[in-house]
A and B are shown apart, each in its own frame.
Chain A
């Protein structure tokens, strides 16, 4: 399916990637090219075929629902661009 600049802006918003107006036409072309190519799947009749949910046929292992890791906030925060008093810091979101 050919997508236009408006659709590029909408999916860029969904993906939280800033795509400047000047790049949208180019991206619309590139993404349309890829989407048109993958649409060849439509020619396969998949009526009644279950979608794959796991490529290995095993039951998911279970474990006790207990805390098994943690207790090192300094390590967790070590790579944060901004941190304060044991917390990640983000721009103010509540007025």
Chain B
């Protein structure tokens, strides 16, 4: 029989239902695998006892013939940005080191209600700010993939790098991440897994450590499109505690996956052909077009004229929101305090010691663009651009059902290769940020390998709240790509 860590969520679910496997078997196999893969630094906190207790509860429910839900007995890894009652939630920051939430986030509560178990809390860029998982207070995460003939560690992408590495390394059946400008999709591409950012408003943000309120969304990170559909179904839904979480029906995402793409109109945006994009990225994109056309989709050239302004818009809006949101870390209510006799000095020393360099940079930029005299020129200007960028997509979606692009402009890079210049790092998100600004659902699907070994992803963007159509197209890419490569260290 296949090792429990090799299963997809769908396969594990079916094996549990047939009685071929117990939730305890699954939990034990993953706990062992996590211990053996500590070099990856994928987890900040491991919760093996909790995982076993969750598994035993799932087995007991099943023995009584009353399984909880779609994920009963499935052990998951949770980005250390979701508050978990009684389990440290650090956001990868010194300022929250040791913070133990007295409450549970809505997203994790939904997963536990569906029967899932907690393997641990995964590493991330500090406060989810980064694209390579090097800004974490808990240290960098190592991508389980390596380049051929080169043993230097590669970054897993970010900010949900620990979640991506854990799923790719077969030490979690699935994980959740958060995506503000690409933080689920880019690490999914770098680690050869599926990563889905839902429509803004599809999933509750309550109890998730906030970065940029108008952009943050939780989503699944899995080894198959079907698994992403299963997890999204369990996560999504309205929440009275998040007024931006929209009360619309959550369809059965799994049901329509195999319906195919015959007649589906797939938009190819001219503006995503960016000078300097490596040939293999362009070639994979063209391959993706061919795969969908061969399966009956209609390919439509589209224009999203304001695409090149998306990144600078994002790097005004997101830091502005972050500077406001992160004002709560003041050494008073929770987290680190650097003592002083003077209140203002206590704030300043606490935040200087508690935040890392990238977080400080973004908070300072945010404070600047929101400050008197600059608000109109920067923040208001960016909000106007955001209207134009969202308008581009609205117009395009009058003629197409999904949009296909690459996920990232490169494969995973080595630690230190790109991390010196903040803007060079920001460019990682060039293909993912526009959909974030427009609040649209998007997914990265592993679709091939770069010339030197690590995986590459293709990116689909859907209409608002139409994750179902996007997932159907993603399943078509997945079928055609038949991606079966594995990270080097894992054998086959």
Contacts and interface: CB of A to CB of B under 8 A. Distances in A.
A85 B367 CA distance: 35
A33 to B, nearest CB: 7
Contacts of B344: 16
B246 A19 contact: no
Nearest to B334: A79
A63 B423 CA distance: 43
Contact of B336 (A34, A60, A81): A81
Contacts of B385: 41, 44, 46
B323 interface: yes
B84 to A, nearest CB: 14
Interface residues of B, number: 69
A14 interface: yes
Interface in A44-80: 44, 46, 49-56, 58, 60-61, 63, 72, 75-76, 78-80
Contact of B333 (A16, A27, A51, A88): A88
Interface of B is mostly: helix
A11 B364 CA distance: 6
Given A18-B349, A34-B361, A38-B378, A55 B200 contact: yes
How would you classify the secondary structure of chain A's contact residues: helix, strand, loop or mixed? loop
Contact of A27 (B199, B364, B380): B364
B368 interface: yes
A63 B240 contact: yes
Interface stretch (B154-162, B188-196, B305-313): B305-313
B381 A75 contact: no
B19 interface: no
A25 interface: no
A34 B365 CA distance: 8
Contact of A51 (B100, B201, B365, B387): B387
A90 B343 contact: yes
A12 interface: yes
Contact of A80 (B243, B312, B333, B361): B333
Interface string B278-318: 00000000000000000000000000001001001101100
A37 B423 contact: yes
Contacts of A90: 332, 343, 346
Contacts of A8: 364
Contacts of A42: 377, 381
Contacts of B387: 49-52
Interface string B327-352: 10011111111001111111111011
Contact of B365 (A18, A19, A31, A61): A31
B464 A56 contact: yes
A76 B32 CA distance: 36
A14 B331 contact: no
Contact of B422 (A30, A61, A91, A93): A30
Nearest to A46: B384
Interface in B406-441: 422-423, 437-439
A79 B352 contact: no
A13 B368 CA distance: 11
A40 B332 contact: no
A46 B309 CA distance: 12
B39 to A, nearest CB: 31
A83 to B, nearest CB: 10
Interface of A: 3, 7-8, 11-19, 27, 30-31, 33-35, 37-42, 44, 46, 49-56, 58, 60-61, 63, 72, 75-76, 78-82, 88, 90-93
29 contacts: A15-B351, A15-B366, A18-B352, A30-B422, A34-B365, A35-B378, A37-B423, A38-B316, A38-B378, A39-B312, A41-B309, A46-B385, A46-B388, A49-B387, A50-B387, A52-B383, A52-B387, A55-B438, A56-B246, A61-B243, A63-B240, A75-B103, A76-B102, A78-B102, A79-B335, A80-B334, A81-B336, A81-B337, A90-B332
Leading 4 A-B pairs by shortest Cβ distance: A51-B383, A55-B439, A81-B337, A79-B334
